[in-house]
Amino acid sequence: MSNAPSLFTIDSQQLYLEIPQSPQVQEQLYSTAGACQRAWINQICLQAFLPWFKEEIASSARGYPNTAALPSFWEVVNGTAITFDTSRLVLIPTLAMDGDELRVPQEWVDIPEWVADYYVAVQVNPDDGWIKLFGYTTHQKLKTKGVYDAVDRTYSLESEDFIQDINVLWVTRQLNSSEVLRAEIAPLPAISQIQAENLLERLGHPDVKFPRLAVPFSLWGALLAHSGWRKKLYELRQGLPQQWSIPQWLQTGVANFAQQWGWETREFVVVPAGMRSAESVLGFSRQIIVAGHTYELRIFPKGVSEDHVWRFELRSTTPGGQIPVGLKLRLLTEDLQAFENNEDTAMTPVDMLYLEVILEPGEGLVWETEPVPEDYEREILRF
């Protein structure tokens, strides 16, 4: 028996999907009524679309980057990304009943890290319990044929310029179409940590109802492109206390938001240098998947607290498993700058990769691996 959602066709081309169950959105997760409604229609859209898409077009499809990240997107912008195979698709839901255009926020088109191959226009009718897929287009067509509105920072495409039958997407992929899906876009200029802090202080206040329109797009896009800063913006707009402070975690446990990303408190056995016996130390860990294999990332203090030395380790979760040749563990400053001895690379199969750093109180670090982990989102860990 199929688990796909109920579907029905009212006209010959456009597909209607039944909303399986109207999701409840917690208002306290969003700073404004508009953000709460935006999250609500995006959740409805995702719930109805994703099971059908997995069943009919791409079984590998999943929300991007993951469920924990969605509120920090919906707080500031409309749209939900889905990855499948090596492609990305963005759902753009609307409550409007005319369905004569696709209007895509600029963030999904001009932030390199957010760009998708396909954009799907979805009409949401929660009262009658259905969504309608009234067309899709590609990034290439949106950039070349779409009309940019500088007032609300969107790209719009009239219905005659996008493909109304979503099944055409499946057909073109089956035929290995050589269609160019993504247009070339300019990289966004990097912003400094001081600039980011100033933007966060200003835009993190919930009285700023439309933060995406409050500053030039080059600054706004660069801020959102750094997922650690995007999370920080979301937390500030909710009035949440610092969620990524490692010293605070040592005192009171891992913050709720960080727990959603898989962090947990762990006790590690450490063998000090010299003749002293092994000792236990309190630290933190989370699991990541790299190239299909699961690893544990560990962080714990080294030596006495006054030394401010922290150790990062990456180990396989498989008993006896090793780190394969070429895998890298890397640390960067909060604004993604490298520093001396900031990465460890497996030159041969090894039991672990590790880095030890001396940090000033309050300093932030970003970890990453190469290859990039599945569902990777930058985290600014504060020390």
Could you tell me the pLDDT band of residue 137, with boundaries at 50, 70 and 90?
very high
pLDDT digits (tens, 9 = 90+) for 241-265: 899 999 999 999 999 999 999 999 9
Same domain, 259 and 233: no
Q: How confident is the model at residue 6 (pLDDT cuts 50, 70, 90)?
A: low
Position 110 in a domain: yes
Answer yes or no: do 88 and 111 share one domain.
yes
Among 117-121, 254-258, 268-272, 322-326, name the one with the lowest average pLDDT: 268-272
197 and 291 co-located in one domain:
no
**Residue 182, in any domain of the structure:** no
Is 187 inside a domain boundary?
A: no
Do 52 and 101 lie in one domain? The reply is: yes
Question: Does 164 lie in the same domain as 53?
Answer: yes
Q: What is the pLDDT of residue 157?
A: 95
Contact 107, 142 (CB under 8 A): no
Closest Cα to residue 298, out of 349, 354, 375?
Answer: 354
Backbone angles phi, psi at 130, to 5 degrees: -145, 160
**pLDDT beyond 70 at 345:** yes
Pair 254, 334 in one domain = yes
Q: Where does a domain end: 182, 216, 238?
A: 238
Q: What is the pLDDT of residues 294-313, one digit of tens each?
A: 999 999 999 877 888 999 99
**Four-point Cα dihedral 275, 281, 286, 290, nearest 10:** -10
What's the CA gap between 294 and 376, in Å, rounded? 13
Q: Is residue 219 part of a domain?
A: yes
For residue 183, being part of any structural domain is answered with no
Is the pLDDT score of 156 beyond 90? yes
Whether 185 is covered by a domain: the verdict is: no
- In this prediction, residue 27 carries a pLDDT of 72
In a domain, 72, yes or no: yes
**Number of independent structural domains in the chain:** 3
Residue 167: band (very low, low, confident or very high) from pLDDT cuts 50, 70, 90: confident
The reported pTM is 0.91
What's the token pair of residue 151?
């007032």
pLDDT band at 13 (very low <50, low <70, confident <90, very high): low
Q: Are residues 286 and 359 in the same domain?
A: yes
pLDDT, residue 185, reads 96
Domain of residue 139, residue span: 7-174
Number of H helices, E strands in the chain: 10, 19
| Residue 25: predicted pLDDT | 74
pLDDT at 193: 96
Q: What is the spatial distance between Cα 81 and Cα 20, in angstroms, rounded to a whole number? A: 20
Judgement on whether residues 123 and 214 belong to the same structural domain of the protein: no
pLDDT above 50 (res 57): yes
Residues 287 and 360 in one domain: yes
Same domain, 202 and 269: no
Considering the domain architecture, whether residues 52 and 29 belong to the same structural domain is answered as yes
The pLDDT confidence band at residue 1, using thresholds 50, 70 and 90, is very low
204 domain-assigned:
yes
End-of-domain residue from the set 146, 174, 202:
174
Residue 306: the pLDDT is: 80
DSSP 62-130: EEES-GGGHHHHHTT---EEEEETTEEEEEEEE--S---EEEEETHHHH-TTT--SEEEEEEEETTTTE
Three-state secondary-structure class, residue 223: helix
Q: What is the mean pLDDT of residues 112-125?
A: 96
Residue 200 and residue 164 in one domain: no
